[in-house]
């Protein structure tokens, strides 16, 4: 009887071990964590890195599991410790474990945001500062797959790597005939009729506007207008009212303000599109404003056009 009891206990132990090994469907019950490798498309200078298409040590992304199944993960924080594009979970609470041997699909976004509402984060327009990463420059990647047998999520090929979601609008403004060397000062610039805030869906990469159209003002504080002034903003992709954005440039001459105006109409169907860079070369003359080579660059190749403007005094 004692021998039979020992055999029964041994058989039960073997049965329990077999069941445990079958939990993941591949005979391996040990946890397997997902790791992430990621690249960034192109090299627009909004990230504050040497070449602007690489990661910086400590960069954090949010990772989501987008497929259905036993493996789950929602806004898990992954960090590249060395800035080499290899991301690992920030801590034990953020590890994504594969629960079976099925292929799992992932999406990810940058920069990581802990405070989301229904997977969406609030977004506000921001000026790009030299050699500083711009947090408004949201990146998104999707469609990469991995499994317990192959647990590295590769956001590295052309289709799945991180891409810019917002629009980059750059202004290069220089004095022309009748303005240069005449003691003009650059006072301010208005961008009228644009949405300056919105929401970004970290799960899908979609963008939506919030609030009403507004005027964004950049103040120069009486900067002598003798050379080119350049600056850029990360803007929300949006359709423009009447397909245009009105620009107002205010100069000071002997404490008297002079106002120059011009409409800007993007050739991308009168709207700023996500993932594109728009560059406007503006020359301010005493007879008005000329916009030359209004380049629209989809983080690569683009087109150009010329515009004229009127002066208001």
Domains 31-164 and 167-312 share a fold: yes
Query: What pLDDT score does 219 carry?
Result: 95
Query: What pLDDT score does 181 carry?
Result: 80
Residue 170 pLDDT > 60: yes
Residue 214 pLDDT > 90: yes
Fold of 167-312: Immunoglobulin-like (2.60.40)
Residue 13 pLDDT > 60: no
- The string of pLDDT tens digits covering residues 72-95 is 999 999 999 999 999 999 999 999
Distance, CA of 94 to CA of 82 (rounded, Å): 19
What is the DSSP code string of 268-310?
TTTEEPTT-EEEEEEEEETTEEEEEEEEEESSS--B---EE-E
Distances (CA, A) of 155 to 52, 56, 141: 17, 16, 7
Q: Does domain 31-164 have CATH number 2.60.40.2620?
A: yes
- The string of pLDDT tens digits covering residues 285-296 is 887 766 665 655
Average confidence (pLDDT) over 179-195: 92
307-308 and 288-297 beta bridge pairing: antiparallel
Query: What pLDDT score does 26 carry?
Result: 46
Sheet holding 229-235, edge to edge: 126-127, 229-235, 167-175, 277-285, 288-297, 307-308
Is residue 60 a contact partner of residue 90, using CB atoms and an 8 Å limit? Answer: yes
Distance, CA of 294 to CA of 170 (rounded, Å): 10
In the structure, what pLDDT confidence band is assigned to residue 267 with cuts at 50, 70 and 90? confident
Q: Which residue has the higher pLDDT, 311 or 41?
A: 41
Residues whose CB is less than 8 angstroms from the CB of residue 8 and which lie 6 or more positions away in sequence, other chains included: none
- The string of pLDDT tens digits covering residues 16-67 is 444 444 444 445 567 799 989 898 876 444 553 434 567 889 999 999 999 9
Closest CA to 218 of 190, 194, 239, 195: 190
Least confident span in 3-17, 159-173, 291-305: 3-17
Extents of the domains making up the chain = 31-164, 167-312
The sign of the CA dihedral 285, 290, 295, 296 is: positive
Burial 214-249 (b: 16+ CB within 10 A, else e): eebeeebeeeebbeebebbbbbbbbebeeebbbbbb
Maximum mean pLDDT: which of 21-25, 268-272, 305-309: 268-272
Q: What is the DSSP letter of 7?
A: H
Distance, CA of 305 to CA of 293 (rounded, Å): 6
- The string of pLDDT tens digits covering residues 107-157 is 999 999 999 999 999 999 999 988 788 899 999 999 999 999 999 999 998
Query: What pLDDT score does 101 carry?
Result: 92
Query: What pLDDT score does 307 carry?
Result: 45
- The string of pLDDT tens digits covering residues 156-169 is 988 899 999 999 99
- The string of pLDDT tens digits covering residues 195-212 is 999 999 999 999 999 999
Q: Which residue has the higher pLDDT, 30 or 177?
A: 177
């Amino acid at each position: 009887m004692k021998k039979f009891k020992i055999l029964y206990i041994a058989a039960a132990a073997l049965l329990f071990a077999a069941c445990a090994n079958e939990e993941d469907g591949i005979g391996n019950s040990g946890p397997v964590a997902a790791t992430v490798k990621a690249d960034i498309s192109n090299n627009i200078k909004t990230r504050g890195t040497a070449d602007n298409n690489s990661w910086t040590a400590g960069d954090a992304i949010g990772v989501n599991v987008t497929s259905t199944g036993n493996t789950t993960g929602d806004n898990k924080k992954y960090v590249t410790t060395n800035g080499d594009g290899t991301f690992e979970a920030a801590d034990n609470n953020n590890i994504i474990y594969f629960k079976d041997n099925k292929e799992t699909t992932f999406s990810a976004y940058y920069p990581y945001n802990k405070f989301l509402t229904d997977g969406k984060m609030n977004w506000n327009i921001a000026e790009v500062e030299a050699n500083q990463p711009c947090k408004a420059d949201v990146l998104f990647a999707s469609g990469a797959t991995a499994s317990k047998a192959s647990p590295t999520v590769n956001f590295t090929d052309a289709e799945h790597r991180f891409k810019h979601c917002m629009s980059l609008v750059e202004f290069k403004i220089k004095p022309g005939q009748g303005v240069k060397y005449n003691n003009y000062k650059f006072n301010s610039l208005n961008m009228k009729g644009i949405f300056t805030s919105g929401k970004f869906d970290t799960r899908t990469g979609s963008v939506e506007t919030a609030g009403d159209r507004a005027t964004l003002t950049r103040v120069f504080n009486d900067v002598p207008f003798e050379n080119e002034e350049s600056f850029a903003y990360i803007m929300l992709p949006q359709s423009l009212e009447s397909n245009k954005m009105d620009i107002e440039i205010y100069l000071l001459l002997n404490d008297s303000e002079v106002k120059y105006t011009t409409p800007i109409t993007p050739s991308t169907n009168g709207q700023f599109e996500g993932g594109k860079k728009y560059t406007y070369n503006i020359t301010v003359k005493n007879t008005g404003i000329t916009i030359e080579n209004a380049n629209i660059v989809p983080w690569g190749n683009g087109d150009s056009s010329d515009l004229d403007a009127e002066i208001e005094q």
